[in-house]
Amino acid sequence: MTTIEVGGVAVERDPEGFLVHPEQWTPEIAEELAHESGIPELTPRHMQVVEFMRERYLTTGTAPSIRTLGKESGVPIKELYQLFPKGPAKLAAKIGGIPKPRGCI
């Protein structure tokens, strides 16, 4: 278990760096996690994906699949991979402070 410190508050994370308690998430934490994941700047397009992931997780209890992300987030698949080259679903979940998506799709 590791922690990330933002604004003097330590937030708990799992061994892969995902937040353990999604309710502790703040936009500042998102910035921090994005930098750490190789995304130098979180644009409004990034945030659109991150917020969509987060909202879906908080309302349904599971993160959406990449297919749903492409169809319903308002950001098409090609752009998702330009925004998050190392894996849109995984990184948007991490930056959004929700657990790592468990699905294969």
Partner 1 sequence: MTDLIDETIDLEHRLAREPVEKVSIVISKGSLEGIYPGLIMANGARMEGIDADLFFTFFALDALRKDRVDKIKVATVGNPGMHMPTLIGAVPGMSWLATRMMGRQLEKLDIPPIHEFLELIHDSGGHIYGCHATVEMFGLKEEDFIPEVDGILTVGEFYERSAGAQIIFT
Residue 101: closest CA among 36, 24, 18, 43: 18
Distance between CA atoms of 80 and 82, rounded to whole angstroms? Answer: 5
Is 104 one of the annotated active-site residues of the chain?
A: yes
- In the bound complex, what is the minimum distance in angstroms from residue 34's beta carbon to partner 1? 15
**Quick check: 104 binds partner 1 (CB under 8 A)?**
yes
x/- mask, partner 1, residues 51-80, rule CB under 8 A, reads: --------------xxxx-x-----xxx--
> Which spans of this chain sit near partner 1 (rule: CB under 8 A)?
65-68, 70, 76-78, 81, 85-90, 103-105
